Structure 1
Amino acid sequence: MIVLVDPQMGENIGAAARAMLNFGLTGLRLVRPRDGWPNPKAGAMAAGASSVVDNARVFDSVEDATADCGYILATTARQRELYLPVYEPGEAMAEIKPRIDDGQTCAILFGGEKSGLNTNDISLCHGILTVPLNPAFSSLNLGQAVLLAAWEWSKLAGKGERFPSRMDDAEVPTQADTDGLINHLFAELEPSGFFFPPEKREVMERNIRTTIKRAGFTRADTQLMRGIIKALARGRGAGRAASEE
C-alpha cells in the first residue's frame, strides 16, 4: 500500500501511480490532496496506470489512512529525533514481504512535495525508509521516490518480467574450437614479426591464450574471430603481392 500524505500536484500523484503499476503495486491512498480529488491531471500523467488513480482512496488523516495496517514505514531524507529503525529500500522490503505473506496490510508513507512527512506522522510508523542520496542535494521527486521503493519490492516479490538474454541460448565453444582460434592467430602473428624479441615469445603466447579464454567467447564468436584473422591475412598477402609487382 502506498500512502501519499499532503500531495500537492496531480501530476506527481499520476507519476507515482505509474511507478507503482510498473512494479505491480496497485493500492494507492491519498491524505488531504491539496488540489482535491479526483484530479484530471493525475489521470493524464498516469497514462496506462489510470486504474491505480481511479481506485485511489482519499482520507482526512494519516491515522484514518493506515487504520487497517499492521506495519507502516515512513519515507524521509532527514534524520529525525525518533527512536525508530532505519532501512534502505531493499532492507525495508525484506521487512514488509513476510508480513504481507502472513496476511498483514502494510503501508509506505510518502510526504508532500514541499516538506515531506512531519514528525508526528512519522511517529505513527514502525520504521523509517530512506535512500542514501547526495547530501548536497537529497530532494527526490515524489514519483521517483515511489519508484525506488516499488522497484525494490518488485525484485523481492518476483513481480517483474525480464526478457531472456540471447546469451542463454549461445553455444559454448569446445576446447578444440578455442585452441583452433588461438593457434590460427599465432600462425598469422608469426610472419608479422609480432613475437619479438624471441625470448619473450612464450610469455606473449601465454598472455594471448589467457586473454582469449577470459573473454568468454561463444562458438559463434570464435568462428567470427577466425574469419577476421583470415580476412586480415588475405589483405596482408594482397598488399605484399602488389608491392612486389
Structure 2
Amino acid sequence: MLDELAVVLFRPKFPENVGSAARACLNMGVDKLILVAPQNFDLDKARPLATAHAKHVLEGARIVDTLPEALEGFTAVFGTTARTGGWRKGIMSPSTLAGVIDERLRSGGRVAIVFGPEDKGLTNEETSLCSGLMTIPTSREGTSLNLAQAVVVVLYECFKKALDKPFTPGGPPEERPTTVQEQEALFANLQESLLAIDFLKDDNPDYWMLPVRRFFSKINLKRNEFNLLMGVCRQIQWFVRAHGPKGTQDR
C-alpha cells in the first residue's frame, strides 16, 4: 500500500535511532529508508534496535551525501518541523499530511518524508526543498520526540489512511506527477518571469516566492501542466526581452 513512500533521515546522530526508525518503517509497511550523511553510523549498533524483522530495511537503506541527491525522482517531499512561524507557514498535522500523501500516492506519485537531525531539525534552506511541512502536536511539558517515535507517529497516520480505501488498478492512465527536480526548475523559471514583470520584489525574491511555493504545494502538478507553465514563462521572458520591462514602454 505504501510501496512508493520513503523515509529520509537527514544527518541522524545516533545509529540506535536509525535502527529503531527502520523497525518503525517495517511496522507501518514502508520499506524505503534513505540516510543522508549519517553521523557516526554503525550497523552493529543499529541492528539490535531494528530487530531481526526489520534487518532487511536497515541493511537495504540507501546512504547519500546530500539532501537533493536523496530526493531525486520523488514527486512530492514533506518535511517535519517542531518550529513554526516566520518562513514556516501552512504546517500540517500528521493526519492532514497523511491525507495529502494518500492522494499523491494514489495518483501515481512517489513521496518522501524528511526527518531532520535529533538536535537541530531541518533548517530553512532544507525545508525549502519540501512541498509542505508537518509538525506533531505535543504537550508543553515535553515538546521533543525521539526520532523513531516521530517516524512511527507519522507513518501510522499514513498506514491508517491507506487502509480506508484499497488501492485498485484500472481506469484511464493519468499524466505522471512532476518530480521535485522539475518543480524546482519551474519555481526558478517562475521567479525569473515574475521578477521580469516586477511582480516580485527584487530585494529578497526567495522570500516573496514563498506564497507561490505554498500555492503549488497544494497542487499535485502533472507533467503536462508543468510543460504548460514552463511555456508561459518562456513567452513572458521573450516578451520582456523584445519590448522591455514593465514601465519602460512609455518613457
User: Shorter chain as normaliser: what TM range?
Assistant: 0.5 to 0.7
Tell me the TM-score normalised to structure 1 length.
0.62
Corresponding residue number in structure 2 for 1:120: 125
The reply to whether residue 141 of structure 1 matches residue 154 of structure 2 is: no
- Does the residue aligned with 2:114 lie in a helix, a strand or coil? strand
Q: Indicate if the aligned counterparts of 1:82 and 1:123 stay in contact, CA closer than 8 A.
A: no
Name the % identity.
36
Corresponding residue number in structure 1 for 2:46: 42
RMSD over aligned Cα, in angstroms? 1.5
Could you tell me which amino acid in structure 2 is paired with residue 79 of structure 1?
A: T
- Does the residue aligned with 2:82 lie in a helix, a strand or coil? coil
Q: Indicate if the aligned counterparts of 1:80 and 1:119 stay in contact, CA closer than 8 A.
A: no
Could you tell me which amino acid in structure 1 is paired with residue 84 of structure 2?
A: Q
Judge which range, 96-105 or 138-147, deviates more: 96-105
* Segments ≥4 residues shifted beyond 3 Å: none
The reply to whether residue 29 of structure 1 matches residue 8 of structure 2 is: no
The reply to whether residue 11 of structure 1 matches residue 10 of structure 2 is: no
CA distance in 2, matches of 1:49, 1:3: 16
1:67 CA drift (Å): 1.5
Corresponding residue number in structure 1 for 2:107: 102
1:136 CA drift (Å): 3.7
CA distance in 1, matches of 2:44, 2:106: 35
Q: Indicate if the aligned counterparts of 1:15 and 1:46 stay in contact, CA closer than 8 A.
A: yes
Corresponding residue number in structure 1 for 2:207: none
CA distance in 2, matches of 1:122, 1:134: 24
1:137 CA drift (Å): 2.3
Could you tell me which amino acid in structure 2 is paired with residue 42 of structure 1?
A: A
Paired positions, count: 158
Could you tell me which amino acid in structure 1 is paired with residue 36 of structure 2?
A: V
Could you tell me which amino acid in structure 1 is paired with residue 44 of structure 2?
A: P
1:135 CA drift (Å): 2.7
CA distance in 2, matches of 1:17, 1:27: 9
1:89 CA drift (Å): 0.5
1:165-202 CA distance string (max 9 Å, x none): xxxxxxxxxxxxxxxxxxxxxxxxxxxxxxxxxxxxxx
1:84 CA drift (Å): 4.3
1:28-63 CA distance string (max 9 Å, x none): 000000014x62211221002111101100111111
1:80 CA drift (Å): 4.4
5+ residue gaps, structure 2, are: 1-5, 165-251
1:25 CA drift (Å): 0.9
Kindly tell me: are residues 81 and 134 of structure 1, through their superposed partners in 2, closer, same or farther at Cα, counting changes over 3 Å?
same
Kindly tell me: are residues 113 and 66 of structure 1, through their superposed partners in 2, closer, same or farther at Cα, counting changes over 3 Å?
same
Q: Which has the larger radius of gyration?
A: 1
Could you tell me which amino acid in structure 1 is paired with residue 68 of structure 2?
A: E
CA distance in 1, matches of 2:8, 2:140: 25
CA distance in 1, matches of 2:9, 2:85: 19
Richer in helix (by share): 1
Corresponding residue number in structure 2 for 1:171: none
CA distance in 1, matches of 2:68, 2:22: 22
5+ residue gaps, structure 1, are: 160-245
